[in-house]
Amino acid sequence: MNDGSLKTPFLHKKPSSLRYFQEGVCPVDLINWKLEIFGEVEKPVTIGYEELLTMPSVDYHRRNVCVCLWSIKRHWKGVLLKDVLAIAGVDITDRSLYIKQNSVGTVNGKYDSTIHLTSAIEREAILAYHVDGEVLPLENGFPLRLIDFGLYLYKCVKCLATLEVTRLNEIGYWEKYAGYSVDGTVLPKKYYAVDIQRKFLFKGTGEVKDADL
């Protein structure tokens, strides 16, 4: 339980992210849910939820950015992407590789997104299962979400089911649906920081740090 020390200021003012396929009850039974890793790997693997919780974890207080021009800094806990891929024997130094994420989905369909593997590793992307000291809620992608802090949130699939290591940079759901960039890198623009209740001009690319505000 969160004792309040990990509370994000003004969280109630954050725009809702509970839209489209993830509305309603997420069809996940944690006893049977598995994360599957396959493709350009030494050995395909499946990892259960409880197994993920026993792996070495990281706690990050880092900022996410939505393509809709708002951002928020929250407390994330999970497993480093590189540590999970190591179980499958993935060569994380191979810059020709990509990670295709697929969600569990609902009766309405599922999300998918492809990101550059080595870049995600360099940015210390995580597979998050807690946020602000609590189990990841449905809105944030229960039970597991890949978070790359240098990419817009539409590139980070909620309710993760599979990671396919591939050499193809495929067009994902949101690129097809809304015409968003396949790359997804956070760009220089003016954003609204929900947690500090003000706008800021980001002049860089990738992850927004405190010094950028």
The pLDDT tens digits for 9-45 are: 999 999 877 654 555 556 788 888 999 999 999 999 9
Query: At a CB cut-off of 8 Å and minimum separation 6, what does 178 contact?
Result: 154
Q: CB of 70 within 8 A of CB of 190?
A: no
Type and span of the H or E element at 84: helix 81-87
In the prediction, which pLDDT does 105 show?
Answer: 75
**What are the pLDDT digits (tens) for 175-207?**
998 999 999 999 999 999 999 999 999 999 999
Q: What is the pLDDT of residue 63?
A: 98
Interatomic CA distance for residues 42 and 57, integer angstroms: 24
The domains located in the chain, with CATH, are 11-22+30-206 (3.90.420.10)
Output b/e per residue, 31-62; b: 16+ Cβ within 10 A. Answer: eebebbbebbbeeebebebeebeeeebeebeb
